[in-house]
Amino acid sequence: METLSDNACFGGRQLVLRHASKATGTDMTFGLFLPSEPQGAPVLWYLSGLTCTHENAMTKAGLQGWAAEAGVALVFPDTSPRGEGVPDDDAYDMGQGAGFYVDATEEPWTGHFRMQSYVLDDLPEAVFGAYPLDREAQGITGHSMGGHGALTLAMKAPGRFRSVSAFAPICAPASSDWGTPQLAAYTGDPAAHDATRLLGGGATLPPCLIDTGAADQFGDLLRTEDFAAAAIAARADVQVNLRPGYDHSYFFVSTFAGDHVAFHAEHLW
């Protein structure tokens, strides 16, 4: 694993690292924040949204200060494989920067677009193999497409995460233009990667917190209300907040980042 940068940050270290991924067959870059005492620290995975890289949340979300206070490590994966020979698409919501955190089964994506395996298997192997963090204390969060990933991966890997949260997640991609075309192209089956349908079909969630802006310009694509209804029907431990005046931007994420880190810290320690 190669260290691309290493900076002091809130008494800890903010690193950017690159490693060879078996899951994607490419080199992958990710961010890692280590608190001042990383030995045995719990880990919060942050999954970013469409068009983002590992860098967006690392530099815009303001999570590190809250994580330092709570003694939590943060991992910021990229949103897709990249590089020469990796398929792409002219649309911003397909291809590089838009992996949707699934393992593709359809051509031309299947060779490299294996982001579910990357986030659940490949990257944790690299992180826990190199740093003395607590593998048994993991939480997962994300924004937009990354919120979709956080919810679905928490349900696809029961017992892995002690807590899950999401900022403005894509909650019902099988019923949305943010999900149906992309997941059909990647896997042929959008419903298999739809958080609302997974929860309604009996999947279980750890304690869950969702914040969505009431002024989100993409609210009709997120379908937060569908997931809230499924959570009530399933009697799941889910808190959904609709925040008046807030939109889909990182200003929204940074406003409530402290709430989300505190929520995870309560369950991780």
In tens, the pLDDT along 158-181 reads 999 999 999 999 999 999 999 999
Mean pLDDT within 77-92? 95
Q: Three-state SS for 77?
A: coil
> What pLDDT does 23 receive?
97
For the stretch 193-208, pLDDT in tens is: 999 999 999 999 999 9
Give me the domain span that covers residue 117. Answer: 2-268
pTM assigned to the model: 0.97
Q: d(Cα 105, Cα 60) in Å, to the nearest integer?
A: 33
Split into its structural domains, the chain has a count of 1
> What pLDDT does 135 receive?
97
Q: What is the CATH number of the domain that holds 77?
A: 3.40.50.1820
> What pLDDT does 13 receive?
98
Catalytic residue list: 144, 216, 248
For the stretch 16-44, pLDDT in tens is: 999 999 999 999 999 999 999 999 999 99
End-to-end CA distance of the chain: 28
DSSP string, 213-257: ETT-TTHHHH-HHHHHHHHHHHT--EEEEEETT--SSHHHHHHHH
